[in-house]
Amino acid sequence: MISNSPYILVLDCDMYCNDPSSARQAMCFHLDPKMSPSLAFVQFPQKFHNISKTDIYDSQLRSTFKVGFLYFSVVEDYFTGFINLHGKGWISVYCDPARPAFLGSGTTNLSDVLVQSTRWSSGLVEVAISRFCPLLHAPKQKEKQMSVLARMCYAELAFFPFYFIPLWCFATIPQLYLLNGIPLYPEVSSWYFIVFSFIFVSSQSKHIQEIFSTGGSTQTWCNEQRMWMIKSVTCHLYGSLDAFMKRMGMREASFLPTNKAVDGEQLKRYQMGKFDFQASNMLIVPVVTLVILNLVSLFGGVTRMVVINGSFNEMFVQVGLSFFIVSMSYPIVEGMVVRKDKGRVPISVSILSAVISMIYLLLGSLIIMYW
């Protein structure tokens, strides 16, 4: 970027100004004598004009976006804030007026959402495993070092894609042991059960509180939970693998802009709150496989608890975990079983996913049996 202007407006190519007073609002901070000498930028939240009321793909992204114009990374906003601005002692201001200052075009189909999230995950992991890792890198500042809290915030973003590891474990291991009648968690009558319950309930309560405080609803909570699960087992996994492959020289860095073209049928389904599963099998098969695995586990676990040996006390947590995953995955189950439209889960994907699930359960059971 080449400019001698003291103030620059930075926007994505699909953003536009929605409030003519936005520049004046930003200048109020830049001209404040108390903060002006160290103020780098004023950040407005990134909001979108084409997001449906249900926002089934969690495209609104309630978290803030950073200013970015360093182009040697697919997460240029992260590098701009961490290395060039906050890392050198500059501060920023977050301004969220009642009327959105800028609006853009959000992703409105599952395929583009997953491709975009995979790209972001790859870029963030690249940071985490590079010399710019927030936990290790020490940017030179004008006056003082970056605070521990600021480092933790940047580190949380950089390491966020590694959520795929515990998510895959929680979605596969307890289910396998449940079908084999082996308890992994404390019994309901145990005091340790209270600890597990407290952690789960408190984390979900905190999430719900954050959603309600930003104008969301229970439906928003469901959508965010669902998309977090889907992205964790697909985008974060593939993004992390992509970053490590680039690091080892097995793959060249690339940048593919997110497709913002609108398909009439897909848009109609999106506005109706229906998932559109017209995406790459590589992105859909892992999700459907885990849903089928948890369906089988839930059915087998309930049967074992109610009919066979009444192991309610021992298996309650594992059955509850499968039930939570299946209930959050209802649109996927609906896409496999109920829907007949073009956006349903392809039959070939359902069959392939079922085969993979059965192979996993068979091999896993054999390993447990002869362990």
**pLDDT, tens only, 214-238:** 888 899 999 999 999 999 999 999 9
Give tens-digit pLDDT for 95-104. 989 899 999 8
Q: What is the pLDDT of residue 313?
A: 85
% of the chain exceeding 90 in pLDDT? 46
Of the ranges 63-72, 117-126, 129-138, which is most confident?
A: 117-126
Q: What is the pLDDT of residue 1?
A: 57
Sequence ranges of the domains in the chain: 16-159, 161-369
Q: What is the pLDDT of residue 30?
A: 92
Question: Taking a C-beta distance cutoff of 8 angstroms, is the pair 58, 111 a contact?
Answer: no
CA distance 235 to 122: 9
Q: What is the pLDDT of residue 139?
A: 62
Of the ranges 120-134, 171-185, 310-324, which is most confident?
A: 171-185
Of the ranges 58-72, 122-136, 301-315, 348-362, which is most confident?
A: 348-362
Of the ranges 168-182, 250-264, 306-320, which is most confident?
A: 168-182
What mean pLDDT do residues 317-339 have? 94
What mean pLDDT do residues 184-200 have? 91
CA distance 141 to 343: 52
Q: What is the pLDDT of residue 248?
A: 87
Give tens-digit pLDDT for 30-79. 999 988 888 888 989 888 888 888 889 988 766 545 655 554 566 667 76
CB atoms within 10 A of CB 40: 18
Predicted structure pTM score: 0.88
Q: What is the pLDDT of residue 260?
A: 56
What torsion, rounded to 10 degrees, do the Cα atoms 22, 24, 25, 31 define? 150
Q: What is the pLDDT of residue 140?
A: 61
SS (H, E, C) the chain: CCCCCCCCCCCCCCCEECCCCHHHHHHHHHCCCCCHHHEEEEECCCEECCCCCCCCCCCCCCCCCCCCCCCCCCCHHHHHHHHHHHHHCCEEEECCCCCCCEEECCCCCHHHHHHHHHHHHHHHHHHHCCCCCCCCCCCCCCCCCCCHHHHHHHHHHHHHHHHHHHHHHHHHHHHHHHHCCCCCCCCCCCHHHHHHHHHHHHHHHHHHHHHHHCCCCHHHHHHHHHHHHHHHHCHHHHHHHHHHHHHCCCCCCCCCCCCCCCCHHHHHHHHCCCCCCCCCHHHHHHHHHHHHHHHHHHHHHHHHHHHHCCCHHHHHHHHHHHHHHHHHCHHHHHHHHCCCCCCCCCHHHHHHHHHHHHHHHHHHHHHHHCC
> Which pLDDT band holds residue 3 (cuts at 50, 70, 90)?
confident
Given a cut of 90, whether residue 118 has pLDDT beyond it is yes
CA distance 157 to 134: 10
Q: What is the pLDDT of residue 12?
A: 81
More confident residue, 89 or 129: 129
Q: What is the pLDDT of residue 296?
A: 95
What mean pLDDT do residues 166-183 have? 93
Count of CA atoms in the C-beta half-sphere (13 A) of 78: 24
> Which pLDDT band holds residue 160 (cuts at 50, 70, 90)?
very high
> Which pLDDT band holds residue 286 (cuts at 50, 70, 90)?
very high
Least Cα distance to 275 among 28, 38, 108 occurs for: 108
Q: What is the pLDDT of residue 63?
A: 56
Phi, psi (rounded to 5 degrees) for 68: -150, 135
Given a cut of 60, whether residue 261 has pLDDT beyond it is no
Count of CA atoms in the C-beta half-sphere (13 A) of 331: 23
Distances (CA, A) of 293 to 108, 326, 357, 362: 28, 10, 6, 12
Q: Which positions ≥6 away from 215 have C-beta within 8 Å?
A: none
